[in-house]
Structure formats: structure tokens, C-alpha cells
Amino acid sequence: MKLVILGGGFGGLRLARKLSNKAGFDITLIDRFNYHQFQPLFYQVATAGLDASNISFPLRKVFQKSRNVRFRMADVQSIDAAAKKVITNTGDYAYDALVIATGADTNFFGNEMLKENAFPMKSTVEALQLRHRLLHNFEDALHTASDLEMQRLMNVVVVGAGPTGVELSGAIADMKRFVLPKDYPELDFSKMKIYLLEGSGKTLAAMSEKSARQSQAYLEKLGVNVLTNTLLKEYDGKTVYLQDGNTIETSMLIWAAGIKGNVPPGIKPEMIARGNRIRVNRYCQVNGSENIYAVGDVAYMEEPAYPAGHPQVAPVAMQMADLVAKNLQSNTMKKDFVYNDKGSMATVGRNLAVVDMPRPKLHFGGFLAWMIWMGLHLMLILGVKNRFFVFCNWLYNYVTYDQNLRLIFKEFDRESKR
């Protein structure tokens, strides 16, 4: 079977590894990057806690010992279902079976001004860009004489109080407490305000009521201004305009309020569900097709426990990939997908996190939850080297109350070198 997998994220990589060196499969894994990105730790790259290389792993290295998996770095241009081929900028790839695991990207909900001025964080590159701007703002603040401009440069607004928004707000608050005053003694950090805006009535809305209350209390303890039931209207790069008429001055707005599926061209419009996700059946097959599958964030599946689709999280993608791997290898009746929710967690700051477990129904908060969060994420990172360096960075940061990756890389100026 010629199997083409689009995307080297949690779902695509899991499927390729499950079928690596399995007889009867000739696998091509296609991604626009040549590395796997560990998305749960993007926020630590953005706040100078980890180096980008520590949460990225070369896809070719994963399959160095594989006899049947080949990686190709390419941009997918379209899927030709009739001809059974994927068209990319580097050539065409024929398939017997196709698995779409292209993940999700930032959803700005059609707001072009917001898209132009806000900072998303859905890739390693975007996390580095965010770090660059965050640090550069404090460098610029040293040279401004305007109180208004000073406020804009020092204020940070995060929109969306899901796990990404909560973790990012807490990490920036820790920077404000422990790091930035030592780096910039000339600046008065009592004037720096961190805002977390959320349209619903609580933070971490997908988690338990106790986690929601606890996470908000932790954030407020760290000095984050949590504004629930607050909707953003517009952002022009300098001022945040809220639906209630209030404004916040800032040159740094981080958008963590929505995602949408990365659907490749060639998928019929009637197959697209809410959130730009591809409709699939309980076997992860794209509706109306027997040889095209979709897994992870880009897939929309309804099952009794999840009538509005599954949460767009890594465990769903990996469990879908496991099911597809089993079904592709099986000659017997295919199994339906049933998501096994093993729990959810979010870290808020130093020694602060929340963990929910459904079976048995347990909740952890504070230092114990923080240790559980760190241990699990450390195990999930690809590569012994990456785990070692991440652990060393975390240990160094914890002991010294400091981070050592506050680097601002300037773009190479070709003209100045001529």
C-alpha cells in the first residue's frame, strides 16, 4: 500500500511511527517543515524559558532506521482524489491511501486588522517572533520620553483564557517578577500591566469548575489582570478597543482565542464543518471516501460523548492515528473511534498548575499539579537529548529564578555587508 501522510505533528508522526517497518506499507510523510514541533511548550520558547531546538526534532532522524518511511519537505498545493495523488511544490505523490494530519492554525475570524497587528503562536517560528518583539519592546522603552508610548511598550495583552493564554500570561508574569527588573533596572515595572481577556465567564472553560476558579486565583496572585466576559472589538497595533467601550494601550497583543483546521485544497466544501475541519466518520475516513482519512485538529468527528466534535488536543490526534494504523493493517471488521479522555492540565506559573483526571475523578492544584505537568511533558518530548536539555533548563530556571535565552536576533542586512 502506498500511504501518503500529510503533516508531521502529533497525529501524522504517530501514524508513521506505528507503521514504520511494517510489511505491506510504502509510506511518504510530507510536511512544510523538516521537524516535529512540540506545541505545548511554544509559550516557553516565546518567554525565553527554552531554546527552540529543545522542542523541535528532525523528522528524518526519527526514521533513520525505517525501511519503509520516507520524508519529503514540501508545501501541499492540492489533493486530486480522482487521480489518487497529492500535488505539491516539489512534485506529485501517488497514493493508495491518504491521511490528512495537517493540524490547525490561528483563527482571526476574518478580522484583517487583528491578523496584521496581533501575534499568534502556532509554530516555533511564531514563538520566536513573539519573543523577539516582547524583548525588543523593553529595549525600545529605555529610549522613549513619552509616557503613553512607555505604557504601550510595557503592557502585554493576551486574548483567550484557554491553556495557551493562561500558561503564556503566567510565564510573562513570572518574567516580570523575577527577570525583567534585573535586566532593565532603569524601568519601573510597577507600571507594566499584563491583561488576559476572555469572552466567557471563566478561565480554562474546558476544564473543571475548580480548575477554572483556581487558575484565575493563581493568575491574579501573580499580578495578571484577568478580564472575563470581555470581548475584543479591534486592535490597530497601538490600542485595544473592547466591545464595552474601554481601551487598553499596548503594542503587544498575543492572540490565543481561536484556531481553525488547515484544510488542503481539493477537499469538497460540503465536507468542511465548523472551525474549518474535515467531516469524518467513526473510522476517521473523510465522508464519501474510502481511502482518504483525516486525524487530529483538522478532523471533525461526532460520537455520542462528543456530539460537537472532539477537543483539538494532542491525545485525540494520537488516538485517532492509533485507530487508523490498526484499521489499515486489519483485514477484519474495522473498529469505531472512541476517545479515551485521560485528563487535562495547565500550568500557570512557578509552582502553580491545575490537573483534572476523569477516571477516577481527581483534581490537583498547586505544586503537586505543577510537578505532574512537568513530568508528563518531559516524557512526551521526542529525543533523549531534548529531554535532557529541557530538564536542565527547567532546573536552572527553578534554582536561579532566571532564564538564559533572552536573545534578540537581528535580521541579516545584506546591504551593510556589501
C-alpha–C-alpha distance, residues 381 and 416, integer Å: 40
Residue 270 appears among annotated catalytic residues? no
d(CA 261, CA 381): 23
User: Which runs of consecutive H residues, i.e. helices, occur in 179-266?
Assistant: 180-183, 209-221
CA–CA distance, 188 with 153 (Å, rounded to integer): 12
Environment class of 40 (CB within 10 Å of its CB; exposed 0-12, middle 13-18, buried 19+): buried
DSSP letter for each residue of 75-143:
-EEEEETTTTEEEETTEEEE-SEEEE---EEE--TT-HHHHHHSB--SSHHHHHHHHHHHHHHHHHHTT
Kindly report the three-state secondary structure assignment for every residue of 331-379. Answer: CCCCCCCCCCCCCEEEEEECCEEEEEECCCCEEEECHHHHHHHHHHHHH
Q: How many CB atoms neighbour CB 416 within 10 A?
A: 6
Cell numbers of 45, please? 520558547
Q: What Cα–Cα distance (Å) separates residue 38 from each residue in 265, 301, 415? A: 26, 24, 36
**10: CB partners within 8 A, 6+ apart:** 39, 296, 314, 317, 318, 321
- Residues 6+ away with beta carbon under 8 Å from 37: 9, 55, 56, 123, 124
Q: What single-letter DSSP state applies at residue 285? A: B
Other beta carbons within 10 angstroms of residue 161's beta carbon come to 30
Q: Which entry of 112, 139, 167, 290 is annotated as an active-site residue?
A: 167
Centre a 10 Å sphere on the Cβ of residue 69 and count the other Cβ atoms it contains: 24
Active site residues: 167
